[in-house]
Amino acid sequence: MSNEKTDWWVGLFILLGAIALSFLALRAGNLSSFSFAPTYALSAKFDNIGGLKVRAPVKSAGVVVGRVASISLDEKTFQAVVTVQIEKNYRFPKDSSAKILTSGLLGEQYIGLEAGGDDANLVAGGTLQFTQSAIVLESLISQFLYSSAEKQGTPQGTESAPAPKSPKLSQ
């Protein structure tokens, strides 16, 4: 086969590969939801981040405004420190709150931002003061069992409820 023909076929082959890769990245994957807009960093501390992962979305009113950049542990307060990158054109008041929510019932976890009422906005490097940790299913259940056991115990007075068999919280 002549050299030009071979080159043409090889070019076609590589092009096909590029198309396939772009298809996978854009149509199948989440690359299209990556914005290349400039971002600024904010941080927040949580008692428990649950199953939050890096690159999880940060949403406000359901709209993606940024992504989780990094997660680490503060060794003094033993709280989780989460840094998020927010798109520069979204500004939030200083008293906004960050909650770790779950999409759907058993879906991926993300950070939900609720705007506060302050006039001043958070700037790059700022910290979200008000946070709510992830809901851990086990503590929810044990809470429910404890409270229901308590309710059972109070009318009898002395007869205290059997020691709340709160399942050992696996932290």
* b/e per residue 91-130 (b: at least 16 CB within 10 A): ebebebbbbbbbeeeeeebbbbbeeeeeeeebeeebebee
Q: Which stretch binds other proteins (CB under 8 A): 1-9, 71-79, 113-121, 148-156?
A: 1-9
Say whether residue 10 binds other proteins (CB under 8 A).
yes
Q: How many residues bind other proteins (CB under 8 A)?
A: 26
* Rounded-to-integer distance, Cα 49 and Cα 83, Å: 12
Q: Per-residue x/- marks for other proteins, 87-126, CB under 8 A?
A: ---------------------x------------------
Residue 135 · residue 101 · CB < 8 Å: no
DSSP code of 65?
E
Beta bridge partners of 46: 80
- Other Cβ atoms less than 10 A from the Cβ of 87: the count is 16
Shortest reach from residue 17's CB to other proteins, in Å:
3
- Give the separation between CA 110 and CA 41, rounded to whole angstroms: 16
- Contact with other proteins (CB under 8 A) among 34, 70, 137, 160: 34
Q: Min. distance of Cβ 36 from other proteins in angstroms? A: 13
**Identified binder of other proteins from the candidate list 55, 88, 151, 165, rule CB under 8 A:** 55
Q: Which of 151, 144, 145 is nearest to 165 (CA)?
A: 145
Say whether residue 64 binds other proteins (CB under 8 A).
no
Comparing CB distances to other proteins, the nearer of 67 and 122 is 67
Q: Which residues bind other proteins (CB under 8 A)?
A: 3, 6-7, 9-10, 12-14, 16-17, 19-21, 23-25, 27-34, 55, 108
